Amino acid sequence: MITGEREVHKNYWMEHSIDLTEDGTILDSKDVDLDKEDRLEVLSLLPPYEGKSILELGAGIGRFTGELAQKADSVIALDFIEDVIKKNESINGHYKNIKFLCADATSPDLDISEGSMDLIFSNLLLMYLSDEEVENLAQRMMKWLKVGGHIFFREACFDQSGDCKRKHDPSHYREPRFYTQACALMIQPYCLQMQICWIWEKVSSDNDGGFQRFLDTVQYKANSILRYERTFGEGFVSTGGIETTKEFVAKLDLKPGQKVLDVGCGIGGGDFYMAKEFGVYVVGIDLSINMISFALERANGLNCSVEFEVADCTTKTYPDNSFDVIYSRDTILHIQDKPALFRYFYKWLKPGGKVLISDYCKSAGASSPEFAEYIKQRGYDLHDVKAYGQMLKDAGFDQVIAEDRTDQFIQVLQRELDKVEKDKDAFITDFSQEDYDDIVGGWKAKLIRTRSGEQRWGLFIANKN
């Protein structure tokens, strides 16, 4: 028996399913013309599904059902409005590999065999479920998937999807962070009016996600990210904020239509700047789920070509010659095998492409016990500026520029510290005394390490000929 919120949602969709045509079930007046384009773009984001078994949740009258059936081995098209699924069957019933099922995706009685699905697909479904229902469904979907299978869903975030007037809208327009944090997942977002797509992949692994968990629960907790942003400037969590971003990006000679990979993109400020100012398409990746969650929220209302993905740059793969520029700010200090990563960068860049990296470095020779302990405690892998540049040369790059920018780093640190101290009362009001002390203490410690000469800051630019 359907009760409470589910009854409200059922009544809502019965109301919006009176006109069982594509025009009648689309909730944006402009989408009638854009429907085909939208459909093709969403389908282009799916992992390969030729010959696969697909479960389509909230299938509706079949906007995607027939398209999926053309390539899949089998499709289960499920919807909880009987007239709607019957309409889907009348449209797509000639595909003999489709099973049409009237059922509620949240019902515990829904019987899908464990490990039976290659792809679970939904479009604007979860926004009609409660938080608890989403979390429970996510767990069940993972059971239904085969290892190596994928879950794909698109949801409207922040505001309603479409411009058609509705008497009552029971939808949950959540922040992307809710879906992102439902589990540790890979995200490849596609945005249209803050409709965002997620892809989850089920994997078999003994890895406990230790480093990612460290980032999201220790170094880059949500509160820590907001403190960093307050210090570096809106949209930024790396040295110098927009000031150094403008200076360094100016060295890339970006052209409209070029494709940029930002490794360790943080909360996206540099990506939005490059996309907006230069008309480039930016792919931002970061291992921190919290960082990407904030980046997606910051993207709300911005009309620029940026996508974000939670990904490990040491295991992520791209086709050769994919990018015109690879950009990374104060991130690769976390990577232990830099030579291997730089070889990947070289492969991913197009001929004539350019890499720009700023990163923490150290002075040549042995480190003091105190600085060595700091490096160990943080899990960093630091090199002197010259050795860092040599690793880029060894990876195949030409015209390698390796500049020691420590003096600039000290100046920026001092300005950032002065700003926080001047803003002390407001900072403590917005955060806490402990947060203020942590930031001020951290910046003073960095100034001591850099002024002593042990901690350095390098800027590296190299070309692929």
- For the chain, the structural domain boundaries read 4-201, 210-463
Partners of 403 in the beta sheet? 459
Instruction: Please classify residue 214 by burial: count the beta carbons closer than 10 Å to its beta carbon, then call 0-12 exposed, 13-18 middle and 19+ buried.
Output: middle
What is the CATH number assigned to the segment(s) 210-463?
A: 3.40.50.150
- Under DSSP, the state recorded for 49 is -
* Tens-place pLDDT, residues 186-224: 344 444 444 677 777 787 766 555 555 555 554 568 899
Q: Which residue type sits at 286?
A: D
Query: Per-residue pLDDT for 305 more than 60?
Result: yes
Predicted local confidence at residue 205, as pLDDT: 64
CA-based radius of gyration for the chain: 25
Name the band, by pLDDT with cuts 50, 70 and 90, for residue 38: confident
Tell which wins on pLDDT, 98 or 161: 98
Predicted local confidence at residue 2, as pLDDT: 47
* Terminal CA-CA length for the chain: 66
* Tens-place pLDDT, residues 222-247: 899 999 999 999 999 999 999 999 99
**Strand pairing of 145-156 and 195-201?**
antiparallel
What is the CATH number assigned to the segment(s) 4-201?
A: 3.40.50.150
Tell which wins on pLDDT, 296 or 68: 68
Q: pTM of the prediction?
A: 0.74
Give me the half-sphere count of Cα atoms (radius 13 Å) on the Cβ side of residue 146: 10
Q: H helices within 234-378, ranges in order?
A: 241-249, 269-278, 289-298, 338-348, 369-378
Tokens of 274: 């490059």
Q: Which of 204, 200, 160, 208 is nearest to 179 (CA)?
A: 200
Token match 């070509």: residue? Answer: 305
4-201 with 210-463: one CATH topology?
A: yes
